Amino acid sequence: MRIIVALDIIGGKCVRLTQGKFNTKKVYNEDPLEVARQIEDNGIKYLHLVDLDGAKNKKIENLSVLEKIAWKTKLKIDFGGGIRSYDDLINTINSGARQVTVGSIAYTNPHLFLDWLAKLGQEKLILGADCYDKRVSTNGWAETSEKDIISFISEYKSKGVKYTICTDIKKDGMLQGPSTDLYKEILGSVKINLIASGGITSLKDLENLKQSGCEGAIIGKAVYEGKLTLKELGKQC
């Protein structure tokens, strides 16, 4: 199972939110590149870089952060937040992203998302499948639909999607463990490369996710709050 560290950006700084709420913002480092280098120095290869300004404002705001990290580290980066056009996708990839995560457009404009999938290919485009009470959430988690998360993922798997990141918003930033049962339920219905996100706090959480069949796990707040060290995570890689 791939170990992926999250780096969330607001105003060019490394931050974390709780359950996606901007009024819970906590700045952990003024320099995201410094954090990225620490991640790399501990043997971790994968970075989940999220433009929270972009997600909120529906346009990419922190592309320069991606460029700097991609230029000055060898981390394999997936980037998400604020992508609304094919040009956004290309600019993101040209700026150094190995993969791009798209969630809101996949829900609001499926035909456009599938067009992007056809153009980029299944290795480049990740389906962002965030949920609250098993219902799909979009637009920086500001809106929750009536769409069931399992059927959402299943429908896109049938149309060629290979990777999906699934975040249970209730768990995100709470440091109370991930939604392992939800991931087991998803993988019991859909054979897809599922990347778990939200609530991961311990090595035991990671072991449980691995046993459930997840292809990857994204760890964020637990690192920044010292619950899990980069050294510990590096040993899992």
Q: Is residue 55 very low, low, confident or very high in pLDDT (cuts 50, 70, 90)?
A: confident
Give the pLDDT score at 22: 84
- Write down the catalytic residue from 8, 51, 78, 172: 8
Q: Is the pLDDT of residue 172 over 90?
A: no
Q: Is residue 138 very low, low, confident or very high in pLDDT (cuts 50, 70, 90)?
A: confident
Contact 92, 71 (CB under 8 A): no
Q: Is the pLDDT of residue 169 over 90?
A: no
Give the pLDDT score at 141: 57
Is 205 a known active-site residue? no
More confident residue, 22 or 228: 228
So what CATH class is 2-235?
Answer: alpha beta
Q: What is the dihedral of CA 202, 154, 156, 54, to 10 degrees?
A: -40
Give the domain ranges of the chain.
Answer: 2-235
Cβ-count burial of 122 within 10 angstroms (0-12 exposed, 13-18 middle, 19+ buried)? Answer: middle
Give the pLDDT score at 146: 78
Contact 1, 219 (CB under 8 A): no
How far apart are alpha carbons 103 and 113 in whole angstroms? 9
pLDDT, one tens digit per residue, over 182-211 is: 999 999 999 999 999 999 999 999 999 999
Is 181 a known active-site residue? no
- Write down the catalytic residue from 51, 88, 130, 168: 130
Q: Is the pLDDT of residue 173 over 60?
A: yes
pTM score of the predicted model: 0.94
3 DSSP β-pair partners: 217
Percent over 70 (pLDDT), the chain: 97
